[in-house]
Homo-oligomer: A and B are copies of this chain.
Amino acid sequence: MAKTNPGRFFEDYTLGQVIEHAVPRTVGAGERALYHALYPARHALYSSDEFARASGLPAAPLDDLAAFHVVFGKTVPDVSLNAVANLGYGEGRWLKPVYAGDTLRSSSEVIGLKQNSNGKTGVVYVRTRGTNQRDEVVMEYVRWVMVRKRDVDAPAPEAVVPELAKVMDPKDLVIPEGLDFTNYDFAQAGETHRWGDYEIGETIDHVDGVTLEEAEHMMATRLWQNTAKVHFDATFRPDGQRLIYGGHIISLARALSFNGLANAQMIVGLNGGAHANPAFSGLTVKAWSEVLDKAETSAPGVGAIRLRLVATRGGAPFELRGDDGKYLPDVLLDLDYWALMPV
């Protein structure tokens, strides 16, 4: 019997199935430092234990996106090894901050299945949950991927497409216990703009750019124990290019968004996301944001802001789609998320 993991094919998934993903991972000071080395991350709550304490948390948590990457990375061998395309994300929520010393696990429940009309592939919908060593769910999100069938003659399962919220209701966002921005230090955070200063519809060009490097995206992707061959093996694609993990672009764009959104401290909801075009080493990534919505929260001094975060490989900011409704070729990422800011 072959001992290596062939990955799952479309017919290996059944509705309601729960997959426990390997490998548990303890995170700490090393992952935090590497996150700062790999991305121009500067949000004060994740940079300074003192700033986090002044905001009511016990210490600076691991960056929310790093927690996402760790949870996501574990799903790759079970969910996307035979994926043709990563179609979308939704209904993401961060439920508990992750601290140094925490050990994360992931599991995914199959919540939808739909064979494509060509009979060769199908779409699998999973709800993935990350849990810590106390069995607390630290985050959850839905992801759907197109997966190849092993046997094109295998019968199609009954089609079930889950109804997903287009946007997380701000009432459902979970604010970390104790979070309090009433004594927020704007000077130390880096910008004076508070929640009240942002208007729905406002756009922000984050100005800075970062040129992608093979060693950097590979180290980042490996750090999250993501095993997809296409990111690491230059002989895998016919063109000899290593496709960059979409999450690398998410983290890069989020870090770039500090310049204009320094006070959008915590990510608590992921409404949706699309990797509009593939990214490769050598491209220079820039980012812009659009304020999509705002909401009050029950936590002292804390407001919620819904942001579109777009990463591009150049091109003018604020341009997203062409006349045909399709993403422009320079657009790499279109992400829709909720963050917490001082009001």
Contact = CB atoms under 8 A, between A and B. Distances in A.
Interface of A: 2-5, 20, 22-34, 36-40, 42-44, 47-51, 60, 77, 100-101, 103, 105, 133, 187-191, 193, 197, 204-211, 213-216, 218-220, 222-223, 225, 227, 229, 232-236, 242, 259-262, 282, 284, 314
Contacts of A34: 30, 33-34, 37
Given A187-B22, A209-B229, A39 B235 contact: no
A3 B213 contact: no
A219 B27 CA distance: 20
Contact of A4 (B32, B206, B214, B223): B206
B50 A259 contact: no
Nearest to A215: B215
Nearest to A77: B190
A24 B190 CA distance: 9
A33 B36 contact: no
8 contacts: A3-B260, A23-B188, A24-B48, A28-B33, A30-B33, A49-B101, A209-B233, A227-B259
A23 B211 contact: no
B234 A4 contact: no
Contacts of A33: 27-31, 33-34, 223
Contacts of A215: 213-216
A46 to B, nearest CB: 9
Contacts of A223: 33, 36-37
Nearest to A233: B209
Contacts of A209: 229, 232-233, 235-236
Nearest to A19: B187
Contacts of A216: 215, 218-219
Q: Which of A37, A48, A216 has the most CB of B within 10 A?
A: A37
A36 B60 CA distance: 22
Nearest to A223: B37
A191 B5 contact: yes
A207 B261 CA distance: 43
A218 B219 CA distance: 13
